[in-house]
Homo-oligomer: A and B are copies of this chain.
Amino acid sequence: MANPATVPVLDYLARQQARHVDELREFLSIPSVSALAQHRHDVRRAAEWLSGRLARAGIDSVRIDDTGGHPVVFARTPLAPGRPTVLVYGHYDVQPVDPVSQWISPPFQPEVRDNVLYARGASDDKGQLFMHVIAAEAWLKTGTLPVNLAFLFEGEEEIGSPHLGDYLRAHRSELSADVAVISDTPMFGDEEPAICYGLRGLVTLEVSVIGPFQDLHSGVHGGAVMNPAHALAELLASLHDQSGRVAVDGFYDDVLPLSEEERQLFQRLPFDVEAYQNELRVPALVGEAGFTVLERLWTRPTLDVNGMWAGFTGEGQKTIIPACAHAKISCRLVPQQDPERIAQLVESHLRKHCPPGVRLDIVRGAGSPAHLTPLDHPAVKAAEAAIEAVFKRPAAHIRMGGSIPVVADFSQTLNVPTVLLGFALPNENFHAPNEHFHLVNFHRGAQTIAILWEKLGAAYV
């Protein structure tokens, strides 16, 4: 049941829809790719655009904080005693865009087709964070915010948030809050709004196999030297066994087993395995024996090669033995797995299995543990009510295979519980060509968030 105070707020959002879409397109046209040095200036431009927009929303305390990497945009509404404080987190950086040739419209020229907005960052996460900005604006322009809001928008999520931990520690008191809300997760389906209570963690490694001092003529030298591409293939092949399990010693040691309650919760979700396989257009789904597809995606750890390269990859033939071969590897982690320990186990495995005739160079990247929020947490209950008010149906409770490192940081550093309340759809191509966001969910998401402030305000009275 909607509280009367929310009527003018929702009315404001309804009247401003066209403007909000135009503004989002402007935001999305800034190529804030955090992984690429050439876009450093664009990342800052996105931060500046966002801070300007927060100020125009009526929030007078807005800052761009340097972090040593890409900046944090921090903003807060005046502290009203007696109201709970909500920490809103989002990220304004985006993934790289290659293979760029597969985009139907250019990734940084946002285009609306059939009420769907196409652009890199549309759903992950610029479009979703922007819902919070306009929900706050709607309250500020039409009534009294039922909560205190602190906005923490970072520019390094897609590169593993290397500076966010330090930032949180340095600003611990400013960031103190009753609850954190993040919209960087999907709904479960087109009409299936969801609260995500679990995320996988992540740890990355880059492996280089180094052979001869330069590329060699494969006729002159073939047969007497270890080909680094062969060595890398052998190493990568050794990382999984024939049943699809990760073959690294100790990899599963600390995995929290799946509870019978969760198993049943997932079985009740309307998940069509065949439709999923068809959607991905693969001849078969694979994975660990003994687990359903959702269980594999949400509750089991993985090891994936994200990229590999060696030798001549251009048009035609170049008959060489490559001087070196490289792979980017990442592991998705589940609760109780320690990123550092997993990276070390993988590194040990690679060193132990390295064939003769080549050298190994391994660089470990950033890591973050997995996350779980109790299903009976009061903020989860407020989110359930807000979803039901807008969508006219109960929220699904899901976990997710992706990783949002900040969720673990909020828990560990700030001792703030997090509600993950996202409005993207699962197949909106985050990290892939033709990323998009259904505008109907953009608008419903902003409404839900506006109501969530009211429900949270009431919950903490």
Contacts and interface: CB of A to CB of B under 8 A. Distances in A.
A302 B223 contact: yes
A387 interface: no
A58 interface: no
A353 B287 CA distance: 18
Interface residues of A, number: 101
A258 interface: no
A226 B282 contact: yes
Interface stretch (A6-14, A307-315, A447-455): A307-315
A266 B280 CA distance: 56
A165 interface: no
Interface in A290-342: 293, 296-297, 300, 302, 304-322, 325-328, 330, 332
A220 B318 contact: no
A233 B237 contact: yes
Instruction: Please tell me how many copies of the chain the complex holds.
Output: 2
A322 to B, nearest CB: 7
B302 A356 contact: no
A381 to B, nearest CB: 27
B217 A432 contact: yes
B432 A216 contact: yes
Of listed A202, A221, A229, residue having the most chain B CB within 10 A:
A221
Interface stretch (A18-26, A82-90, A409-417, A423-431): A423-431
Nearest to A226: B286
Contacts of A233: 232-237, 305, 308
A454 to B, nearest CB: 31
Nearest to A402: B219
Interface stretch (A47-55, A92-100, A129-137, A389-397): A92-100
A378 interface: no
Interface stretch (A73-81, A108-116, A140-148, A207-215): A207-215
A284 interface: yes
18 contacts: A214-B429, A215-B433, A216-B432, A217-B432, A221-B297, A223-B296, A223-B300, A224-B276, A224-B285, A225-B280, A229-B306, A233-B236, A233-B237, A306-B318, A309-B313, A313-B326, A318-B328, A318-B431
Given A96-B314, A332-B223, A429-B214, A308 B307 contact: no
